[in-house]
Structures are given as C-alpha cells and as structure tokens.
C-alpha cells in the first residue's frame, strides 16, 4: 500500500477546518484495527473444559432410589455459551440394568443418560457423547472395569446417551450442573467413583464501530463545523455477532492530541440513540457494573463489560472539543 505526505494546512483554510475530522478518522481507524487484531474475527471452536467430581457414594435401591438419587454437582463459574456437552461416569455396580442417570443444566433442562440398560452386566465406565457410533442401548454384552483405582479419563467405552445432550446447546454454562444416579430395582448395589463433565464453548465474534458528529461550533447552529472550540460527539458501539457469549470485554480509545475530552460527558446504553446512563470519569463505584463500566484517565477512554450475549451490543457516547 502506497502513501503520500501532505503539507500542513494554512490556518483558516477549508483543509484546516477539516484537519480535526481527518484526525478523528485516523483515531477511528486505529481503534478498528486494534479490535480486528484482538477479537473481531470469529474465534475457532474452543477446547473442551473439564469439570470433575470424585466424591464416592453408595448406590442401591435403599440408599439411592429414584425418589432420592445420589447427586453429584459441577460448579461452572466461567461465562460462556454451551456448544457441546459430554459426560463420563465411572462407578461399580453388580447389576447395571438397575441404573438410571440424569444430567441437569443450571436452567433446569434434564437429559436422561441411561435407563435400566445392561441387564445383568456389571459396572459403568462410559463417556456419553452424542457423536458416538452406537447408542447406550447397545451396551448389554460386556462388563466395564470400575474400581476405586481405575483412572479416567479416558473412559473405557463411548456411547450416545438415552436422550440427546444437544438439548443443552445454546444455554449459558455458568451455574450448577447436576448429575443424578439412582437404583430403580431391588437387590444389588455399587459405588460411584468419578464423573467428568466436558463442556465446549460456542465462539463469540466481537466487533466495533465508532462514529462522530460535530454538535456545536459556537457559530453555526444549523450546520456546525469542526472549528477550534467546536464540540464533537463520539459513539463507540461494541457488538457480538457470534453464537456464544463474549466475556470480559475491555477496550481503550485515546483522545486525539488536538482534542480535549469534555469531563462528565460519557453516557452508556444499548445503542448510540438510546445511550442515557451517566458514566462518571473515574473507574470506581456502582456505575462501573451497571452493566457497562467507563472511565477517562491520562487522555484515554476505557470501556468495560463483563459479558455480552450473542446478537447483542452496547454503546458509549462521549464529547470532546477541538483545540
């Protein structure tokens, strides 16, 4: 890409009046380049995130009937949208056909993993995965290996669950996931040893736009220009076009050298048109999580938001004067 050097504009010339606009454009372009490099392209599919529960527990028709099952929880603190779910279970039992497993998401969606399948065969050492070649109903011929010393993952066998785990896709991961194990028939018993919940996050795709307009110049009320002393209003919009929730969004924008930030002028909201929530200039206080945080320091605007759902956006307005 070629470039050319322009001579400085004469004071009072049309080019001089447009210089702040050109500088503002350069700031806009630099901000866009920064965001493109960081997060505006869709991210590749995330690696699986593993959550493990290794609290042993007795499973039989007396201690854990299906009215009061054995419950093992997985706490997910991260913020993201679920794209895929797998779960592995390791437990001993002398009659696998007694067993029923359920997985419940933080919003209450329940999926049955196994439903009295396996007849007289022993133990469970299975990864439940929608992509498996065979359904769990085929797991009737073999015993599984499952003792307190058995190391998982990898799990001994992989099957599609009784109900599809894809029922969880598109839900938010954060919260408590609940595995229920019960013994629905008389006689026989076993011990739960371990379960691993594998969640894959849907990718976010964050982009940014910045627009500006001269709102006053002290001379023309109908058609203000970017003259010295004029006030320019900027609006930064950050949006998420990806399938997943974006987390910990933080951006900075330096005020151009020929501009001066107008103290106390920041407003936040869903769009440039509706932004009406006052953001003070410091980085502390309740306004930093309402849900948008914004501050000004040492010539730089900083904006932050903890999370942004798919197909959502937020905006920050602020004013600056032309020096």
Find how far residue 54's CA is from the centre of its chain. Answer: 27
In this prediction, residue 10 carries a pLDDT of 36
Lowest mean pLDDT among 18-22, 116-120, 146-150, 152-156: 18-22
| Backbone phi, psi, residue 81, to 5° | -100, 140
What's the average model confidence in pLDDT over 55-66? 96
Task: Write the class of the CATH domain 14-44+204-322.
Answer: mainly beta
Residue 170, pLDDT > 60, answer yes
Residue 281 pLDDT greater than 50, yes or no: yes
What DSSP assignment string belongs to 122-137?
Answer: --EEEEE-TT-SSBGG
**Average pLDDT for 229-258:** 94
Q: For 18, phi and psi rounded to 5 degrees? A: -90, -10
Give the pLDDT of residue 287: 78
105, 126 Cβ separation under 8 angstroms:
no
Q: How confident is the model at residue 57 (pLDDT cuts 50, 70, 90)?
A: very high
Domains 14-44+204-322 and 49-201 are alike in CATH topology: no
Tell me the Cα Rg of the chain: 29
Report the alpha-carbon distance of residue 244 to residue 309 in Å, rounded: 7
Please check the confidence at residue 33 and state whether its pLDDT lies above 80. Answer: no
What does pTM read for this prediction? 0.73
Q: Are 118 and 140 in contact (CB under 8 A)?
A: yes
Q: What is the pLDDT of residue 91?
A: 98
Lowest-pLDDT range of 38-42, 142-146, 216-220, 222-226: 38-42
Mean pLDDT lowest among 12-16, 81-85, 232-236, 273-277: 12-16
Is the pLDDT confidence value at 94 over 60? yes
The proportion of the chain whose per-residue pLDDT surpasses 70, expressed as a percent, equals 86
Q: Above 60 in pLDDT, residue 30?
A: no
Kindly report the backbone phi and psi dihedral angles of residue 16, in degrees, each rounded to the nearest multiple of 5, phi listed first.
-65, -40
Tell me which CATH code domain 49-201 carries. Answer: 2.60.120.260
Q: Are 81 and 245 in contact (CB under 8 A)?
A: yes
Report the C-alpha gap between 217 and 228 in whole angstroms.
Answer: 8
Q: Per-domain residue ranges for the chain?
A: 14-44+204-322, 49-201
Residue 36 DSSP one-character state: I
CA 196/CA 202 separation, integer angstroms = 19
Hey, is 253 helix, strand or coil?
strand
């Amino acid at each position: 890409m070629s470039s050319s050097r322009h001579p400085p504009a004469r004071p009072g010339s049309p080019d001089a009046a447009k210089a702040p606009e050109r500088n503002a454009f350069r700031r806009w372009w630099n901000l866009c380049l920064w965001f493109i490099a960081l997060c505006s392209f869709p991210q590749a599919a995330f690696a699986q995130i593993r959550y493990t529960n290794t609290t042993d527990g007795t499973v039989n028709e007396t201690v854990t009937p299906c009215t009061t099952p054995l419950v093992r929880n997985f706490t997910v603190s991260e913020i993201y949208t679920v794209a895929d779910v797998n779960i592995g279970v390791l437990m001993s039992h002398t009659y696998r056909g007694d067993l029923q497993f359920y997985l419940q998401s933080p919003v209450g969606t329940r999926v049955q993993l196994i439903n009295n399948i396996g007849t007289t065969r022993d133990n469970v050492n299975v990864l439940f995965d929608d992509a498996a070649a065979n359904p769990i109903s085929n797991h009737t011929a073999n015993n599984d290996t499952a003792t307190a010393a058995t190391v998982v993952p990898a799990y001994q066998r992989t099957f599609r669950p009784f109900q599809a785990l894809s029922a969880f896709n598109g839900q938010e991961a954060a919260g408590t996931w609940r595995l229920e194990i019960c013994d629905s028939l008389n006689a026989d018993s076993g011990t739960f040893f371990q379960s691993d919940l594998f969640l894959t996050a849907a990718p976010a795709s964050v982009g940014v736009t910045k627009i500006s307009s001269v709102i006053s110049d002290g001379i023309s009320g109908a058609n203000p220009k970017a003259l010295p002393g004029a006030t320019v209003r900027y609006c930064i919009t950050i949006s998420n076009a990806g399938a997943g929730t974006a987390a910990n969004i933080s951006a900075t924008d330096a005020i151009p050298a020929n501009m001066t930030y107008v103290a106390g002028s920041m407003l936040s909201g869903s769009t440039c048109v509706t932004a009406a929530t006052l953001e003070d200039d410091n980085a502390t206080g309740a306004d930093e999580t309402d849900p948008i945080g914004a501050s000004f320091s040492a010539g730089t605007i900083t904006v932050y938001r903890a999370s942004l759902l798919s197909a959502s956006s937020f905006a920050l307005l602020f004013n600056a004067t032309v020096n």
